[in-house]
Amino acid sequence: MLGQSSRRLTRHFLLFLVLTAIQGCALLYKLPPQPPLSPEEVTRALSQIREQDDKVRSFFTSGRLKVREGVWEQEALCLVAATRDPERIKIEITHPWGQPVVHLLLEGTALSVLSVAKRKIYVGEASPESLAKIFPGLIDHEVIWGVLRGYPTLKPFHHAASQEGNQISLFLHNSLEIERVENDPEQFQPVAVL
């Protein structure tokens, strides 16, 4: 009797494991690739991005920022205020309990950083090289504006083309790709910039 009960329990447990594993599995078939966008669709998408960019002259936002370094992780609060005329971006980072950590101000080509933790003020030119010490990678004022606003800004380019479905590549004179914008196929709005 005990052997039959344990076999039944084992079967139920195995059935439970199989059903749990099947529920978590993704479908294995691949969707067919989307055709590249037509030149008219590329022009329409880029003009929509430019039009949307011209509509915003200022914004402010707040959020949480997670900083990881190895196994160490810390969360901070972030407040951003930005204007186009004059070009100014102010970023304030504080500890969750309200203590200021860093205040950063980009005014045109000037950069000021107040580090409360180090008790120092850094003042200099806002070049891509100096900004790389604060932000990841070589970026400029326009890229920072687009990232903080949550909507892409287009870099100056020579020509644009769609080589893959729902993506627009921007090229320089020498056919070097400098930016790729991925659009949502349903709403025809940008969802990612590479």
pLDDT digits (tens, 9 = 90+) for 128-155: 777 777 666 656 677 777 878 878 888 8
Q: Which helix (H) or strand (E) holds 144?
A: helix 141-149
Check whether 7 has a pLDDT greater than 60.
yes
How deeply is 49 buried, as exposed, middle or buried, from its count of CB atoms within 10 A (0-12, 13-18, 19+)?
buried
45, 46, 50, 51 alpha-carbon torsion, rounded to 10°: -30
Report which of residues 80 and 12 the model is more confident about: 80
| Domain membership flag for residue 170 | yes
| Domain membership flag for residue 3 | no
Total domains in the fold of the chain? 2
DSSP structure class, residue 64: E
pLDDT digits (tens, 9 = 90+) for 26-77: 555 566 777 888 889 888 888 888 888 888 888 888 888 777 777 778 888 8
Quote the tokens at residue 168.
Answer: 């627009």
In this structure, the answer to whether residues 122 and 161 fall within a common structural domain is no
Across all residues in the chain, what is the average pLDDT? 80
| Domain membership flag for residue 9 | no
Note the pLDDT of residue 22.
Answer: 61
Give the structural domain span for 121: 57-135
CB atoms within 10 A of CB 28: 5
| Domain membership flag for residue 13 | no
| Domain membership flag for residue 78 | yes
Going edge to edge, which strands form the sheet with 167-171? 159-161, 167-171, 177-183, 190-193
Check whether 91 has a pLDDT greater than 70.
yes
Nearest to 91 by CA among 80, 101, 107: 80
Q: Find tokens 């407040």 and name the residue.
A: 79
Note the pLDDT of residue 17.
Answer: 61
In this structure, the answer to whether residues 46 and 101 fall within a common structural domain is no
| Domain membership flag for residue 115 | yes
Report which of residues 106 and 72 the model is more confident about: 106
d(CA 129, CA 66): 24
| Domain membership flag for residue 141 | no
Task: Please report which confidence band the pLDDT of residue 24 belongs to, taking 50, 70 and 90 as the band edges.
Answer: low
Quote the tokens at residue 81.
Answer: 């205020």
| Domain membership flag for residue 169 | yes
What is the percent of the chain with per-residue pLDDT over 90, rounded to a whole number? 2
In this structure, the answer to whether residues 69 and 48 fall within a common structural domain is no
Q: What residue type is 83 in one-letter code?
A: T
What does the pLDDT average to over 109-115?
A: 86
Report which of residues 95 and 8 the model is more confident about: 95
pTM of the model: 0.64
CB atoms within 10 A of CB 169: 20
